Structure 1
């Protein structure tokens, strides 16, 4: 897998991201939606998220001065294997760190260590931006906090029952940080 920071956003690449996001969600991934979803269910959220990155939206040409950074892991065929966003927090007082958002590995690539590779590539991308730390939140009850701990994140807080997956199914939101 090869990683690209702020890849050129073509219409086919954008559609691949939507398809990956939907497949990750439908496979049980906690990336902002509850299954079942179709790519069009995700489109408005993806458009808002990607418009803030250096990749931009298809046809925009992106912006090297964008607040957020898209990191995409591409498989041997150049398809989307994994992705995440390093999101600016909007504060000069917090300019030394970014939020890690929408971490996903396409289901057909899961179990191959791609998630670990993606997170380590995010560390490298963050360092190249001069950052000192990365923060993220994850949904309790999924076990993914253990994965993040294995790549150097530590839990710094938790908000009980703040994520409602379904009526009667509330999960903790777990806050984690990694100092680079």
Structure 2
């Protein structure tokens, strides 16, 4: 059994794990994850996401990046976006929950979500929001963790293969 650990990465650690993060995102998208990317999805595009979109937020303190490690290997990640407008200092958005296909069914998604809640509370956040592809396997996970459905938006985004528009489910949880 692998030793599992959830840690928050700072900017230097994020930079150091950039190749692993890119591979994680690349593997998840190619496994069908609907996390805002469409195939074909080259590894360079995955690396650019972490470098250009995630790293600046982590460095600036507005984004928490969690890493799930299995025997020291990056097995999953999740993000908490706390860079909210001045009238929403109590809220944060859960983003990009992903577990590498070879590490699924180990409880990593639940562990990542539990730690995101800890991180949110430490930052004075009492409301978490997220969106997920309607009907996706993550939707029942979020419901089981106490998230409530706020509504669905039809035709919100292309699926991961760019074949059809899919609905998204907006969810929230009061902490």
TM over 0.5: yes
Partner in structure 2 of residue 73 of structure 1: 68
1:170 to 160, 165, 170: 165
Moved over 3 A (4+): none
The match for 2:77 is 83
Name the structure 2 match of 1:57.
Answer: none
1:18 aligned partner: 22
The runs of 5 or more residues in structure 1 that have no matched partner are: 55-61
Q: Secondary structure at the match of 2:13?
A: coil
Superposition pairs of residues 8-157 of structure 1, within 5 angstroms: 8-9=12-13, 11-54=15-58, 62-63=59-60, 66-76=61-71, 78-157=72-151
Closer, same or farther: CA 27–170 of 1 in aligned 2, 3 Å = same
Contact 1:28–1:35 (Cα < 8 Å) also in 2 = no
The Cα of 1:139 is off from its aligned counterpart by 0.9
Alignment coverage as a number of residue pairs: 170
Q: TM-score, normalised by structure 1?
A: 0.85
Superposition CA RMSD, Å: 1.9
TM superposition score normalised by structure 2: 0.88
Q: Which has the higher contact order (CA 8 A, sep 6+)?
A: 2
